A and B are shown apart, each in its own frame.
Chain A
Amino acid sequence: EAQVTQNPRYLITVTGKKLTVTCSQNMNHEYMSWYRQDPGLGLRQIYYSMNVEVTDKGDVPEGYKVSRKEKRNFPLILESPSPNQTSLYFCASSPPEGSEQFFGPGTRLTVL
């Protein structure tokens, strides 16, 4: 089954404790993205990648890191999480230009 998977789905952590949210897709898509969604707001792009070893900042990259060592994986790293990073996070993948994005199920992160 073609899908985007994220782990964990739910995470409660404390300020400053490094964490990684994994994202994997099995559709051989070149493009991958991370978004955060806060109440009443749409999706805001954190980082995106257009191919292996190619990553770019989205609209809200501060406090986040990403890597793209393999085509299928695009982990999101929070080196020192803070309460303002409490949010719902979505990973997405797509073929190149002009195609729909396929979203993972989301990761609900709470930073205390």
Chain B
Amino acid sequence: GQNIDQPTEMTATEGAIVQINCTYQTSGFNGLFWYQQHAGEAPTFLSYNVLDGLEEKGRFSSFLSRSKGYSYLLLKELQMKDSASYLCAVRGWNTNAGKSTFGDGTTLTVKP
């Protein structure tokens, strides 16, 4: 099975940097994803890590350590529009490649 943990809520200030952590336990691993979801809307893709290390994409970066079952999403130069829920998800492997497990999400509030 798969189990994912991430903090429920975080608050940060506009212009600052925030790191959202995610730990996972899985019996089969085919990549870790981060999605952003604004209230009442569909999730949208932010990043994907399948190998250890840091992936950078503009203001957003994501890190993965497979040996530690750990990932984080780093948001720089925070803007008010970054207030949203951030979902960590892992994908199954091989015959379970269509299976995805999501964490409960981290609600980020950006304050002026």
Contact = CB atoms under 8 A, between A and B. Distances in A.
Given A97-B30, A100-B33, A106-B42, A50 B102 contact: no
A59 B104 CA distance: 14
A41 B102 CA distance: 9
Interface in A51-100: 56, 58-59, 90, 96-100
Contact of A105 (B42, B96, B100, B102): B42
Contacts of A48: 98-100
Given A100-B33, A101-B45, A103-B44, A44 B102 contact: yes
A13 interface: no
A98 B30 contact: yes
- Chain B, interface residues (CB within 8 Å), range: 20 to 34
B100 A33 contact: yes
Contact of A42 (B41, B87, B99): B87
B46 to A, nearest CB: 9
Nearest to B103: A42
Interface residues of A, number: 27
Nearest to A41: B104
Contacts of A41: 104-105
A39 to B, nearest CB: 11
Nearest to B31: A98
A112 interface: no
Interface of A: 31, 33, 35, 40-45, 48-50, 56, 58-59, 90, 96-106
